[in-house]
Amino acid sequence: NLKKIIDNDSLLTDRAGRPEPAQTHPASLLAEGAVPEHEDTLAVVAGWGLAGSGLSSTVSHTLQTAQVTLMTQADCTHIFHSSVTQDMVCIRGRAESIGSTCPGDSGGGVFYKNRGRYEVVGIVSWDRGAAGCQDYMSTVASRVTSVLAWVRMQTRESDFCN
């Protein structure tokens, strides 16, 4: 039984000259090692995945968001076992709000609000293969701080909002 773990599931695109989608705001990159790691830290996940659940789900033509909770590395490992590495961060939908990640959200951002501004924590990567959007579902994201050096090298000519 061969098992392959993909670390640093990340991609950069060039949006120069293209209009930003409505209702978007710049987000800062986290400083290295700055991912908050305590239970019930509120975050937001964004993506263009399925909207709805079950047979009524459709592909979204607008950016969707959901409130999620950042999980500790210990909780993440407990759920996903050895499939999780230190280059990953886990989130789960919040019990008091409807929503989580959905199929098609991969590549979307996970954002943490720190002192009034959003910072990118992760990039949605994978989950347990659920067939639809399930409230309170856990999801694995690439940990942005693990690829910061690479991002800065690839974007050294760019402006950051740090």
Name which residue leads in pLDDT, 55 or 131: 55
For residue 84, pLDDT over 50 is answered with: yes
pTM for this one? 0.79
144: confidence class by pLDDT, cuts 50, 70, 90? confident
> What pLDDT is attached to residue 19?
54
Average pLDDT, stretch 110-138?
79
- 150 bridge partner residues: none
* Rounded Cα gap, residues 39 and 148, in angstroms: 24
Q: Taking 70 as the threshold, does the pLDDT of residue 31 lie above it? A: no
Mean pLDDT value of segment 83-105 = 82
Given a cut of 60, whether residue 20 has pLDDT beyond it is no
Instruction: Please state the rounded mean pLDDT for residues 89-118.
Output: 82
Q: Write down the mean pLDDT value for the chain.
A: 76
State the residue for tokens 């993909």.
6
The string over 48-60, giving b where at least 16 C-beta atoms fall within 10 Å of a residue's C-beta and e elsewhere, is: bbbbebeeebeeb
pLDDT band at 2 (very low <50, low <70, confident <90, very high): very low
C-alpha to C-alpha distance for 84 and 79, rounded to whole angstroms: 9
Taking the C-alpha atoms of 105, 111, 140 and 82 in order, what is their torsion angle to the nearest 10 degrees?
Answer: 160
Q: Is the pLDDT of residue 101 over 80?
A: yes
Residue-level pLDDT at 138: 87
